[in-house]
């Protein structure tokens, strides 16, 4: 009887599969019907103007391509709804549908347009604009792996941007740029220290104190901007910023070079921090102790790990990493500070951290997704597509919601995350 029961496979009642299949079918209809209305070829440029190595542009018949991709999405939707696929196949189907929809959208946007769709421009700005998101996510990982929730990433980015712009402008020249970057990092660490004291010593609710610090940072930087920076803009907000540096040989590689090896020093700093934090957290004794504190602080304390000190250290280090991201907003980009210029990037960094399951490389993938959504909206706007500019501006935030609510699935934060530790 037991063997008979085991052999019988009951019908699936997986609502998630039906929802996913229906979504794939809906996207297929949009691709096959909505994105075939424009006639002509879509031209995709694969090099930047003036590049030393030129790659021929790619010409694609827009309507037939969108129709074929729509049919592919419809087929995958039917399979997803009726077949019990393994996890890897589900993820592969999701990636295929999203990629097909993206390509169909770009074909529709550029069909018959005399202006080509520059893919290198899209990828280059995606990587560059992901820098503050990646650094914000790494800041959150450092904090939450030790058991402290860091909602104050937004405030750390904003204060770091203000300090970097003010110090670099006051010092001037090349040394001023590096002084601004260091000042931004230290200012972010100062905000992290305030968060650490309030959350660890005074046992304040970590989410509330993080929100309070964000509001305080916004109000404080706005006040200083109006009262100090505006009257003395010629000395405190002059617009100094790092110029891009192309790595020899690597920067000349077609497609890859302009995207990953021709940018400001902040991108290369991000590479270093990403590798260091990944290795330190998961391949070192230091990282093992940090994760032990974040999972079971009482057990960590019994084996001699200094729980309180570990949390203080990680929260301050996380604030310094976020401060570097804030410095990028000014001395790594436009050079000029403006009120509220972080514009929700800290919260997107938190979403990237969750999407990446509290792992650095996973958070980078999420950050690239969000930055790509934002830059895609910009590129579509340049092509004058018949989509309201407000809708295009919503793309990164819509991607955040979809990624966290629909794609990431069930995740588990460190067990002691957000829980104060009081030594017995």
Q: What is the DSSP string of 348-361?
A: HHHHHHHHTTT-HH
Question: Measured in Å, how far apart are the chain's first and last C-alpha atoms?
Answer: 54
What is the structure's pLDDT at 405? Answer: 64
Mean pLDDT of 323-347: 94
Identify the top-confidence range among 37-46, 203-212, 243-252, 374-383: 203-212
Q: Give residue 304's pLDDT band: very low, low, confident or very high (50, 70, 90).
A: very high
Q: pLDDT at residue 111 above 60?
A: yes
Average pLDDT, the chain: 90
Phi/psi-derived region of residue 172, left when phi > 0, alpha when psi is between -120 and 50, beta in every other case = left
Q: Are residues 135 and 41 in the same domain?
A: no
Contact 207, 149 (CB under 8 A): yes
What is the structure's pLDDT at 205? Answer: 94
State the Cα–Cα distance between residues 185 and 309, nearest whole angstrom: 20
Domain presence at residue 416: no
Domain presence at residue 422: no
Mean pLDDT of 325-353: 93
Q: Are residues 30 and 131 in the same domain?
A: no
What is the structure's pLDDT at 389? Answer: 80
What is the structure's pLDDT at 40? Answer: 87
Mean pLDDT of 255-272: 94
Contact 362, 140 (CB under 8 A): no
Q: Are residues 134 and 28 in the same domain?
A: no
* Joined tokens for residue 376: 């895609």
List, in order, residues 6 or more apart from 297 with CB less than 8 Å away.
Answer: 147, 307, 416, 421
What is the residue range of 376's domain?
125-407
Contact 293, 315 (CB under 8 A): no
Count of the separate structural domains present in the chain: 2
Q: pLDDT at residue 291 above 60?
A: yes
Mean pLDDT of 196-200: 96
CATH number for the domain including 338?
1.10.3470
What is the pTM (predicted TM-score) of this model?
A: 0.91
Mean pLDDT of 229-234: 91
Question: Which of 333, 301, 290 lies closest to 130, judged by CA?
Answer: 333
Contact 378, 126 (CB under 8 A): no
Domain presence at residue 340: yes
Q: Give residue 112's pLDDT band: very low, low, confident or very high (50, 70, 90).
A: confident
Question: Which of 122, 198, 145 lies closest to 321, judged by CA?
Answer: 145
Domain presence at residue 106: yes
What is the structure's pLDDT at 39? Answer: 82
Q: pLDDT at residue 7 above 60?
A: no
* Joined tokens for residue 320: 């310094």
Q: Are residues 39 and 183 in the same domain?
A: no
What is the structure's pLDDT at 6? Answer: 42
How distant, in Å, are the alpha carbons of 44, 62, 64, 112, 116 from that of 59? 6, 9, 13, 11, 9
Q: Are residues 111 and 129 in the same domain?
A: no
């Amino acid at each position: 009887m037991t063997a008979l029961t085991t052999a019988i496979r009951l019908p699936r009642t997986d609502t998630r599969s039906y929802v996913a299949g229906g979504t794939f079918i809906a996207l297929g209809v949009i691709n096959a019907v909505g994105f075939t209305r424009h006639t002509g070829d879509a031209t995709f440029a694969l090099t930047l103007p003036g590049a030393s190595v030129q790659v021929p542009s790619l010409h694609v018949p827009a309507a037939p391509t969108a129709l074929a991709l729509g049919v592919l999405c419809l087929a995958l939707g039917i399979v997803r709804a009726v077949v019990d696929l393994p996890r890897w196949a589900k993820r592969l189907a999701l990636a295929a549908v999203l990629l097909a929809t993206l390509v169909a959208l770009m074909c529709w946007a550029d069909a018959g347009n005399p202006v080509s769709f520059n893919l290198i421009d899209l990828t280059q700005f995606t990587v560059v604009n992901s820098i503050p998101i990646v650094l914000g996510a790494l800041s959150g990982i450092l904090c939450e792996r030790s058991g402290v929730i860091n909602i104050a990433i937004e405030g750390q980015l904003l204060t770091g941007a203000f300090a970097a712009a003010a110090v670099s402008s006051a010092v001037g020249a090349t040394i001023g740029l590096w002084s601004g970057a260091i000042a931004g990092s230290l200012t972010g660490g100062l905000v992290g220290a305030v968060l650490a004291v309030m959350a660890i010593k005074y046992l304040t609710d970590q989410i509330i104190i993080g929100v309070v610090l964000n509001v305080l940072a916004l109000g404080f930087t706005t006040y200083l901007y109006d009262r100090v920076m505006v009257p003395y803009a010629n000395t405190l907000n002059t617009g100094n910023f790092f110029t891009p540096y192309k790595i020899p040989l690597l920067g000349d590689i077609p497609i890859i070079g302009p995207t990953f090896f021709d940018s400001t020093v902040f991108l290369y700093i991000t590479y270093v921090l990403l590798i260091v934090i990944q290795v330190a957290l998961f391949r070192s004794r230091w990282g093992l102790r940090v994760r032990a504190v974040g999972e079971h602080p009482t057990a960590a304390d019994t084996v001699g790990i200094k729980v309180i000190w570990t949390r203080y250290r990680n929260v301050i280090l996380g604030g310094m990493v976020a401060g570097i991201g804030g410095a990028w907003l000014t001395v790594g980009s436009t050079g000029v500070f403006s009120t509220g210029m972080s514009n929700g990037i800290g919260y997107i960094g938190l979403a990237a951290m969750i999407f990446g399951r509290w792992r650095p490389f996973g958070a980078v993938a999420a950050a690239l997704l969000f930055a790509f959504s934002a830059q895609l909206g910009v590129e579509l706007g340049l092509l004058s597509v018949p989509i309201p500019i407000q809708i295009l501006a919503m793309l990164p935030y819509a991607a955040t919601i979809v990624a966290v609510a629909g794609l990431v699935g069930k995740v588990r934060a460190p067990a002691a995350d957000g829980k104060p530790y009081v030594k017995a």
